[in-house]
Amino acid sequence: MALFDIFKKRPAEVEVLAQVNRELEADTERREDIVAERAASEVAAEAAREREALNAGLEKTRRGIFSRLARTVAGRSRVDEAMLDELEEILITSDVGVDTTVGIIGRIEARVARDKYMNAAELQSILREEIAALLEESAGDKDNFGITLRPGEPYVLMVVGVNGVGKTTTIGKLAAQLTRAGKRVYIGAADTFRAAAIDQLQVWADRAGATMVRQQHGSDPASVAYDTLRSAVANGADAVLIDTAGRLHNKIGLMNELTKIRNVMAKVVPDAPHEVMLVLDGSTGQNAFEQAAQFTAATKVNSLAITKLDGTAKGGVVIGISDRFRVPVRYIGVGEGIDDLQIFDRREFVDALFGS
Ligand code: GDP
Ligand code: GDP
Ligand code: MG
């Protein structure tokens, strides 16, 4: 082929190539659209799944208490004394707590006095509002499962509470969410007291894809915490979760041990721990209340996780605890599985309680 022919052919070839290119680009765009659409529908599906888990988790509370409440309200056309008395009794028996209940009833009475002709439907929505207002909103970066990470140093969260409330399980679930968000997570096995505790935590760490730092059974918890932070800092970890032994608030020595763990960690990361999370078993109702009172008095607590809300009708305890201690509920546990931990959202919680 003469050189001239090649030149003649070229514009056509260029056009074909350009066409192919345009098609490829259009295809890529389409593909990106499909990926974006799929991601959006996955996010929506995930939100729906979480709402369902929350609804299922709170079913007993809703059925046991809040449906009674809805019935009381639904049967009447006007709010009167007798109805408020009934409301009061229902709230108290639902583990909301006396002080919180008296506060809620007082504010509703004031509104009834002001608005005179409040009907039952209005009372329902006011009750929802009043309850939501009692719940502290847990701030935090939702992308990292409610935790606002710190640039250049790991976010250190220490978990405390009595035996069996779900500390270890909650750490495992939380670690899984964080590693899923692409974060590097270190877990410190500072419950060295109970023989099986370290292995139990190891199972969770492995499932979550987190790194666990451990020493042998019986060693000094503060020493484990120290090792964990050193290792986390050296390896550029994003978050550190410290498990601790269950302790009773009335054992001064054990409460002092928490202080020792805190002080030792601050030697490695000056403002650590950034969060001390008290875990409470929601199914224990007033006991959980009592533990919150004792722990917040004995040590600094800046967040709460309330577990085992599935399988209990005592979910109202979340309202009373949040109101009384003004410590935000950060997470709620609604099952034993790795995905059964939710960021606490007061609107969703109230909707799940009353049924939306
Ligand atoms: P710890 O002693 O505070 O560390 O408590 P664990 O994490 O070992 O948990 C004690 C038990 O409570 C285990 O059997 C867990 O599976 C169970 N548990 C923890 N959280 C939940 C929850 O949200 N719902 C239910 N149903 N069980 C839970
Ligand atoms: P007691 O029977 O009432 O003295 O208490 P326990 O049988 O629960 O514990 C016996 C001893 O072990 C106590 O003197 C505590 O100091 C210690 N101990 C109990 N629980 C813990 C814990 O969680 N961590 C550590 N480090 N020591 C603990
Ligand atoms: Mg444990």
CATH number where 97 lies: 1.20.120.140
pLDDT of 7 reads 56
Of the three residues 91, 108, 134, the one that is the final residue of a domain is 134
> Using a 6 Å cutoff on CB, does residue 227 contact ligand 1?
no
Q: Are residues 228 and 99 in the same domain?
A: no
Q: Give the residue, by CA position, lying nearest to ligand 2 atom 12.
A: 193
Instruction: Encode the chain (356 residues) as per-residue pLDDT tens digits.
Output: 555 565 566 677 778 888 888 888 888 888 888 888 888 888 888 888 888 888 888 888 888 777 787 777 776 777 788 888 988 988 888 888 899 999 999 988 888 888 776 777 788 888 888 889 888 777 778 888 999 999 999 999 999 999 999 999 999 999 999 999 999 999 999 999 988 999 999 999 999 999 999 999 999 999 999 999 999 999 999 999 999 999 886 777 888 899 999 999 999 999 999 999 999 999 998 899 999 999 998 889 999 999 999 988 888 889 999 889 989 999 999 999 999 999 998 888 888 887 76
pLDDT of 177 reads 96
> How far, in Å, from the CA of 82 to the mean position of ligand 3?
46
Ligand index nearest the alpha carbon of residue 169: 1
- Ramachandran area for residue 141 (φ above 0: left; ψ -120 to 50: alpha; else beta): beta
> How far, in Å, from the CA of 166 to the mean position of ligand 1?
4
Contact between 239 and 166 under an 8 Å Cβ cutoff? The reply is: no
> How far, in Å, from the CA of 300 to the mean position of ligand 2?
21
Q: Are residues 120 and 190 in the same domain?
A: no
**304 - beta bridge partners?**
278, 329
Q: Are residues 51 and 90 in the same domain?
A: no
> Using a 6 Å cutoff on CB, does residue 308 contact ligand 1?
yes
> Using a 6 Å cutoff on CB, does residue 282 contact ligand 1?
no
> Using a 6 Å cutoff on CB, does residue 217 contact ligand 2?
no
Contact between 153 and 195 under an 8 Å Cβ cutoff? The reply is: no
Expressed as residue numbers, the domain containing 300 is 142-354
Of the three residues 86, 117, 134, the one that is the final residue of a domain is 134
Where b means 16+ CB within 10 Å and e means fewer, 242-255 reads: bbbbbbebeeeebb
> Using a 6 Å cutoff on CB, does residue 220 contact ligand 2?
no
Q: What span, in angstroms and rounded, lies between the C-alpha atoms of 44 and 34?
A: 15
> Using a 6 Å cutoff on CB, does residue 169 contact ligand 1?
yes
3-state secondary structure of 25: helix
Q: Are residues 49 and 67 in the same domain?
A: no
Q: Are residues 79 and 30 in the same domain?
A: no
Name the token pair of 162.
Answer: 């009595």
Q: Are residues 126 and 247 in the same domain?
A: no
Q: Are residues 53 and 63 in the same domain?
A: no
Q: Are residues 87 and 230 in the same domain?
A: no
Q: Are residues 341 and 303 in the same domain?
A: yes
Of the three residues 112, 134, 156, the one that is the final residue of a domain is 134
Q: Are residues 332 and 213 in the same domain?
A: yes
Q: What span, in angstroms and rounded, lies between the C-alpha atoms of 265 and 159?
A: 14
> How far, in Å, from the CA of 105 to the mean position of ligand 3?
39
Name the token pair of 240.
Answer: 């550190």
Ligand 1 atom with the shortest distance to the CA of 163: 2
Ligand 1 atom with the shortest distance to the CA of 243: 4
Q: How many domains does one find in the chain?
A: 3
Q: Are residues 106 and 227 in the same domain?
A: no
Q: Which of 59, 160, 167, 169 to mutate to test the pocket of ligand 1 (most atoms within 8 A of CB)?
A: 169
3-state secondary structure of 26: helix
Q: Are residues 113 and 98 in the same domain?
A: yes
Contact between 353 and 58 under an 8 Å Cβ cutoff? The reply is: yes
The amino acid present at 70, given as its one-letter code, is A
